[in-house]
């Protein structure tokens, strides 16, 4: 199931917020592109799990999980993200009313 692009992927302030959470203090095109890709991938993973478009601009839990996903991907360990964050993912699923199993 595909969801339309999420506006959080274009939010320069959120990119800075993610960079800050990843302890990235420098600013260059390659790093910014990588962080933007982490965000895009995280949005896809979370929306696929929830089966709905997520409002990352106002949902604090969703923002937290997205930043956490970015940390996992930056460290090449995204395969552990779901298992290690299952409780928060379940909360997100409940808040968005996931009905599919």
Flag whether 31 is in a domain. Answer: yes
Cβ atoms within 10 Å of 56's Cβ, excluding its own:
23
Q: What pLDDT is attached to residue 9?
A: 78
Flag whether 91 is in a domain. Answer: yes
Q: Residue 41's domain spans which residues?
A: 7-95
Flag whether 1 is in a domain. Answer: no
Q: What pLDDT is attached to residue 101?
A: 58
Q: What pLDDT is attached to residue 23?
A: 97
Question: Do 88 and 72 touch, CB atoms closer than 8 A?
Answer: no
Q: How far apart are CA 39 and CA 10, in angstroms?
A: 10
Flag whether 52 is in a domain. Answer: yes
Q: How many domains does the chain have?
A: 1
Q: What pLDDT is attached to residue 10?
A: 84
Q: List the chain pLDDT tens, one digit each, 101 residues.
A: 444 567 787 899 999 999 999 999 999 999 999 999 999 999 999 999 999 899 999 999 999 999 999 999 999 999 999 999 999 999 999 999 876 65
Q: What pLDDT is attached to residue 100?
A: 64
């Amino acid at each position: 199931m595909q969801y339309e692009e999420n506006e959080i992927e274009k939010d320069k302030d959120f990119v800075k917020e993610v960079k800050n959470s990843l302890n990235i203090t420098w600013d260059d095109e390659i790093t910014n592109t990588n962080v933007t890709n982490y965000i895009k991938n995280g949005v896809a993973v979370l929306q696929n799990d929830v089966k709905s478009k997520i409002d990352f601009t106002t949902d604090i839990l969703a923002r937290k999980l997205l930043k956490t996903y970015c940390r996992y991907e930056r460290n090449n360990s995204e395969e552990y993200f779901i298992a290690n964050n299952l409780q928060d993912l379940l909360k997100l699923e409940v808040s968005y009313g996931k009905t599919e199993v």
